[in-house]
Structure 1
Amino acid sequence: MTENGGTTPPAVAVDAQLFGLLSNLLQQVESLTNQEEVELRAKIETLGLEIRKVPPKSAQHLNEMEIAEELDKLSAKLDDVDVMISSAMASDPQVKNLLSSTADVWIPVITATSDERRNFTSAVGEENSGEGQGKGSE
């Protein structure tokens, strides 16, 4: 059970928003180019599933070396994501334009610490609950 009574944890909600955005961007690219991006769609879906995995509960505490090894594995996965994004941007200017124009949405999510992500999720939740309750200032 989660801390908030069994509902979706805030980080998962942000992850879902990010992958929803990536899916929408991919759909836009596909409609603009009239080409189905099967490989990129599969990579986005695989990455989405990977980050939603719940790590198994460890029967023992990890020592510093084991933690370092796990961090190395995660770093390698992030490198793979960077390569996928870079190659997609290099091969298609429209992908580059879409990712660049929406970077203010997805970069903070993927580069944030867990505490920053929780704060971000709280802020997004407060913004969403306040929508339609008054006029915006800008």
Structure 2
Amino acid sequence: MAEGKPDEQLFQLLSGLLQQVESLTNTEEVELRSKIEALGLEVTKVPSKSAQHLNEVEIAKELDKLSAKLDDVDEMISSAIASDPQVQTLLSGTADVWMPVITAGAEERLNFTASLADDDDLSNKETTTDNTSSS
């Protein structure tokens, strides 16, 4: 998976699952695809520099905005689950991948990203070792 970032892995997983659902049902899920893409863009936005100099009231307002966005995401997921039992099955079956990304705090995310970087280093070494031994 690209770069090993948890957010990227989550959205690659969601996209892959959606493709599987589409192929199984032979139906294009345009609305769900657009929601996943919109959420991916929202999650990967880089905060503006002005966000670094917020006072407590401004931080509280930003947190309120984020909470509202999370409520929207929750509503999107809930409606997708309610309208399609396969979505519920897929989300349940893959919760071990996406739940840690969603529920992690800032420190946990840093640790998670660091451990993924270590895993990437190991897999790169294994690939190099495999390639050298086959030459």
Pair in the same fold by TM > 0.5: yes
Matches within 5 A, 1:1-138: 13-58=5-50, 61-131=53-123, 133=126
SS in 2 for 1:58: helix
Q: What residue identity is the alignment partner of 1:125?
A: A
Aligned residues: 124
Change (3 A) 1:14 1:59: closer
Change (3 A) 1:103 1:59: closer
Could you tell me which runs of 5 or more consecutive residues in structure 2 were left unpaired when the two chains were aligned: 127-135
TM-score normalised per structure 1 = 0.81
Report how far residue 65 of structure 1 moved.
1.0
Query: How many Å separate the matches in 1 of 2:62 and 2:90?
Result: 32
Change (3 A) 1:28 1:65: same
Partner of 2:129: none
Once superposed, what is the RMSD of the aligned Cα atoms? Answer: 2.2
Q: What residue identity is the alignment partner of 1:97?
A: T
Report how far residue 125 of structure 1 moved.
2.4
TM-score normalised per structure 2 = 0.83
SS in 1 for 2:75: helix
1 or 2, which has the higher helix percentage?
2
Change (3 A) 1:60 1:50: closer
SS in 1 for 2:28: coil
Could you tell me which runs of 5 or more consecutive residues in structure 1 were left unpaired when the two chains were aligned: 1-8, 134-138
Query: How many Å separate the matches in 2 of 1:59 and 1:73?
Result: 13
Report how far residue 126 of structure 1 moved.
2.1
Structure 1 stretches of 4+ with a deviation exceeding 6 A read: none
The alignment-based identity, stated in percent, is 70
Report how far residue 124 of structure 1 moved.
2.1
